[in-house]
Structure 1
Amino acid sequence: MHQLIASPYNGKFLIARPGSKGGMRIPRTLYEELASTAESSSPLPAWLLDHALTAWGLDLDLEGTVMRETVLVRPETRLGYGRATYEINKGCNFNCEHCYLAERKFEGLSWPDKVRLLHLLRDAGVLWLQFTGGEPLIDRDFTDAYTLAHRSGMLIEILTNGSRLHRPEIINLLRDLPPHKVTVSLYGATPGSFDALTRKPGAFKLVEKGLIAAHEAGLALELALIITRHNAHELNAMHALAERYGAGSQEYSTISPTYTGTPEPLAAQAPGFLDKTSVFKGCPAGHTFFHVDPHGLATMCKVGRENPVDLMTEGLDGLFRLPGIADAQMLRTGGCGGCQLSGTCRVCRPLAKAYQEAKAPLNTYCQHGEEETR
């Protein structure tokens, strides 16, 4: 099994190690040197041995270490998509109040079609792949899909609620084939707040078991702290949980409507926790990044799902249409007209459209709403 990946990425060439941070940008000449010996029994070049030891403490200067067993060299492709998210299933074992999915149906591709889809992602140039849902770990094909993506030379992030991380078949897989990162959504620091938001009794205990198992397995772990009306008073305790399990953490305080434009999730918003600081400065969605839903429909991202490309019928050629589809969604003004603040919007146009269709309060997504509340 490969220990290093050499891959094109957005016009550059990188060397990465699955499950580890850090990497190396190399010139085309060194990438071509690796590509020319990728399937051979040649020893690893001295410059690569030195870097592996410096960057990761990885000693590859051992007897019997050869290129074809150690370094997976990803070929250049016609497309420049370095990242993708794969919503393997919309089904979920939680029923979170704030969920952006209007429906959480447990459905998707058959296993043979999942194999074909993952090969298409590989051939599109995807190096960083995020498995998401719904809850990806409950998909019947998750372990096989993860294994195939990992062995295809993708660096994988799993976005999960953590409820199944403790299961032996999951934790053993991730220990043997380490992900780039496991991001667990944290919905509170106590059973009362956590179970209220997820609307599942016992959810907090399940997630704690998963965090313990992931920490003991040495997985790269991050907690997404989802701040809502149920848990805002526990924010410090949520940060303390992240520290306890050796995890990084990011706060997410603004609740959006469903991405189909219905308002139900907005009721979970914690008063005083709207993010009013960041300004939307553009996004590569549809150009160097894309999203795939459970049926193999590719869109610019999780939010902008108009005019999807059916990868299962169009194949890679369909992705050449995606930049134009993305640009059309980003340029549309929708319910905004003659705005003098458009250069400092905090949300992209597809997300603003979802807010508008949900008839959300203006202050939740637009600076004009701030003027009304003064």
Structure 2
Amino acid sequence: MRFVHPLVALARALVAAPRLLSVRPSLNAFLAGYFRKFPVSEVGGRLILHSHLPPIDSPAYARFVRLHLVERRQAPSHAQVAVTAACPQRCLVCYNRDRQGVALDPLELRRVVSGLVESGVVWLGLTGGEPLLRPDLPDLVALARGRCAVKLFTTGMGVTKELARSLRNAGLFSVSVSIDHWDAVIHDRGRGFPGAWRHAVEAVKDFLEAGGLHVGISAVLPREMICRTDVIERVLAFAQELGVDELWLSEAKPAVASLFDEKLVLAEDERRAIADWQDRWNDRVRRAGRGVILNYLGHFEGAEHFGCNAGRKMIYVDPFGEVSPCVFTPFSLGNVRERPLADLVADMWRRFPTEGRCFMNRNWPLVAAASGGRLPLTRDASLAMLSKVRFGPPSAFNRRYFGT
């Protein structure tokens, strides 16, 4: 990885996506300010701001500009698909732990991926379970190649050097290996699997050795840890030791019943403090010309940036075909076996206007009350719960995007 001068990055982005010049000036001004908060890195011949956006000189980014910034399509730009429920680990905060049903077969899964891309998705996260357990994973990546930037979320279990190269050749642009702690014992305890840390570290090495992949680690930290900058710095130092490009960071979301407790849910002022600290860290990395980029989810989805777009610009399909606003929302608006995906996408768009704060961080008490101790919520229970939700004001970006 090397960093690229911002003017060079802008020139290359304009060549790849000339319709940027047709974007509403207020949106372009906002995006320019946001982009300045990250060093632009070049990996595999592509310019990457961070792993939650397509490379800014890629066909997928040009498609994002055309469909979502110029044509303003009423459809998601981002989606995640759990390609399997199988996983040898039993993570304490896994958002899929309570989901069950009959898994989508290979043809159904291909239809879901194709349908999401056709709807306008330009960034696709493949998750699980453990997606590396699927022998057809490279084929699923290739299905979206070109039109979509594909990122893999993995524990690292099941990877080989050959599979890492196969995924790169299929068109994978980024991979995030879950490592929640620099201490193997603590990580393994949270994963419910002895040796989880060792497998993850070896996977990082295999993905880096494949070349041409944007490689990061992802850390999901409890409130008492993520609010400490010394802890974040220690995770960043560990990421630097591994030689990765990015640390993807999030607090543990109240997506499972064990986290339905206000003492465990991050407060808004705490989120903002972490986001501000990220800006200072990434500025240091830019000035030094080297280092690991910090990509905190709460920075991206903060009210000062893009806000929570769950159900509108983000959508999630679980291993059994249930469709949710995002991976952290333990409720369903329907199943792709029972309703066309396009109808579910349109339904979600109508029900979720976006807001400046994370839906679950704000509304977990409503989900908890509706659950009766059972998650995820059925469609009927989800609709009843949603009737009580009062969405907050939109984010800075969405005020400009939707003209509110």
Query: TM above 0.5, one fold?
Result: yes
Q: Give structure 1 stretches of 5+ with no counterpart.
A: 1-19, 31-53, 59-69, 332-342, 360-374
1:213 aligned partner = 206
Q: Distance in 2 between matches of 1:212 and 1:129?
A: 23
SS at match of 1:210: helix
Structure that is richer in helix per residue: 2
Q: Distance in 1 between matches of 2:15 and 2:182?
A: 34
* Cα separation, partners in 2 of 1:140 and 1:174, compared to 1, 3 Å: closer
Say if 2:145 is the partner of 1:155.
no
Give CA deviations for 1:216-275 in whole Å, capped at 9, x if unaligned.
2222012222335899997554322211223211443x3334x3x521697x969xx977
| Aligned pair partner of 1:242 in 223, 235, 239 | 239
Q: Distance in 1 between matches of 2:238 and 2:43?
A: 29
Matching residue's letter, 1:149: A
* Cα separation, partners in 2 of 1:318 and 1:129, compared to 1, 3 Å: same
Q: Contact 2:76–2:312 (CA<8 Å) still a contact in 1?
A: yes
Give CA deviations for 1:34-67 in whole Å, capped at 9, x if unaligned.
xxxxxxxxxxxxxxxxxxxx99869xxxxxxxxx
Q: Distance in 2 between matches of 1:354 and 1:102?
A: 16
CA RMSD of aligned residues (A): 4.4
Say if 2:330 is the partner of 1:317.
no
Q: Distance in 1 between matches of 2:111 and 2:153?
A: 22
1:367 aligned partner = none
Offset, 1:174: 2.4
Matching residue's letter, 1:195: D
Matching residue's letter, 1:115: R
Q: What are the residue-to-residue correspondences of 1:64-83 with 2, within 5 Å?
A: 79-83=74-78
Q: Give structure 2 stretches of 5+ with no counterpart.
A: 1-11, 23-41, 47-57, 273-301, 374-404
Offset, 1:292: 1.3
| Aligned pair partner of 1:288 in 290, 310, 313 | 313
Offset, 1:115: 1.7
Say if 2:336 is the partner of 1:302.
no
Q: Contact 1:90–1:103 (CA<8 Å) still a contact in 2?
A: no
SS at match of 2:218: strand
Q: Contact 2:90–2:191 (CA<8 Å) still a contact in 1?
A: yes
Q: Contact 2:125–2:152 (CA<8 Å) still a contact in 1?
A: yes
Q: Distance in 1 between matches of 2:43 and 2:195?
A: 41
Q: Distance in 1 between matches of 2:161 and 2:44?
A: 27
Q: Which has the higher Rg, Structure 1 or Structure 2?
A: 1
Q: Distance in 1 between matches of 2:151 and 2:358?
A: 29
Offset, 1:283: 2.1
Q: Distance in 1 between matches of 2:359 and 2:329?
A: 16
| Aligned pair partner of 1:136 in 131, 141, 147 | 131
Q: Distance in 2 between matches of 1:21 and 1:241?
A: 32
Q: TM-score, normalised by structure 1?
A: 0.62
Q: Distance in 1 between matches of 2:14 and 2:204?
A: 24
2:97 aligned partner = 102
Q: Contact 2:95–2:327 (CA<8 Å) still a contact in 1?
A: no
Q: TM-score, normalised by structure 2?
A: 0.58
Say if 2:146 is the partner of 1:146.
no
Q: Contact 1:91–1:106 (CA<8 Å) still a contact in 2?
A: no
Q: What are the residue-to-residue correspondences of 1:246-257 with 2, within 5 Å?
A: 246-252=244-250, 254-257=251-254
Offset, 1:345: 8.6
SS at match of 1:283: coil
| Aligned pair partner of 2:366 in 348, 353, 372 | 353
* Cα separation, partners in 2 of 1:319 and 1:119, compared to 1, 3 Å: same
Q: Contact 1:84–1:291 (CA<8 Å) still a contact in 2?
A: yes
Q: What are the residue-to-residue correspondences of 1:22-171 with 2, within 5 Å?
A: 24-27=16-19, 79-103=74-98, 108-150=103-145, 153-165=147-159, 167-171=160-164
Matching residue's letter, 1:240: A
Matching residue's letter, 1:248: E
2:294 aligned partner = none
Q: Distance in 1 between matches of 2:308 and 2:358?
A: 13
Q: Distance in 1 between matches of 2:43 and 2:181?
A: 36
Matching residue's letter, 2:322: L
Offset, 1:103: 2.6
Give CA deviations for 1:139-162 in whole Å, capped at 9, x if unaligned.
3442322222226x2101111112
Q: Contact 1:91–1:105 (CA<8 Å) still a contact in 2?
A: no
Matching residue's letter, 2:194: P
How many residues are paired up? 288
Q: Contact 2:100–2:320 (CA<8 Å) still a contact in 1?
A: no
Q: Distance in 1 between matches of 2:14 and 2:196?
A: 34
Q: Contact 2:217–2:244 (CA<8 Å) still a contact in 1?
A: no
